[in-house]
Structure 1
Amino acid sequence: MRRHLYLIAGFVSLGLAVIGAILPVMPTTVFVILAAYCFARSSPRLEARLLGHPTFGPHIISWRERGAITRKGKVAATIAFAVSIVVALIFAPWPWSVAPILAALVIGGWIWSRPE
Structure 2
Amino acid sequence: MKWIWRCIASLALGLGALGVLLPGLPTTPFLLLAAWAGARGWPELEQRLLRHEKYGPMIRDWRQRRAVPRRAKWLASALMTSSILMIWLLPAPMVIRWFLTLFLPCVALWLWTRPD
Q: Secondary structure at the match of 2:41?
A: coil
Of residues 74-83 and 95-104 in structure 1, the stretch that sits farther from structure 2 once superposed is 95-104
Contact 1:4 1:42 in 2 (8 A): yes
Match of 1:96 in 2: 96
Contact 1:24 1:80 in 2 (8 A): no
What stretches of structure 2 of length at least 5 have no aligned partner?
none
| TM-score, L = length of structure 2 | 0.92
Matches within 5 A, 1:15-54: 15-54=14-53
Q: How many residues align?
A: 115
Of residues 2-11 and 103-112 in structure 1, the stretch that sits farther from structure 2 once superposed is 103-112
How far the C-alpha of 1:21 sits from its partner, in A, is: 2.1
**Is it true that 1:6 corresponds to 2:5 in the alignment?**
yes
Change (3 A) 1:19 1:100: farther
**Is it true that 1:115 corresponds to 2:115 in the alignment?**
yes
C-alpha distance in 2 between matches for 1:34 and 1:86: 28
How far the C-alpha of 1:25 sits from its partner, in A, is: 2.1
What stretches of structure 1 of length at least 5 have no aligned partner?
none
Q: Secondary structure at the match of 1:69?
A: coil
Identity %: 36
Q: Secondary structure at the match of 1:41?
A: helix
Match of 1:67 in 2: 66
C-alpha distance in 2 between matches for 1:21 and 1:113: 25
After superposing on structure 2, the runs of 4+ consecutive aligned residues of structure 1 that deviate more than 4 Å are: none
Of residues 70-79 and 100-109 in structure 1, the stretch that sits farther from structure 2 once superposed is 100-109
Match of 1:76 in 2: 75
C-alpha distance in 2 between matches for 1:81 and 1:24: 12
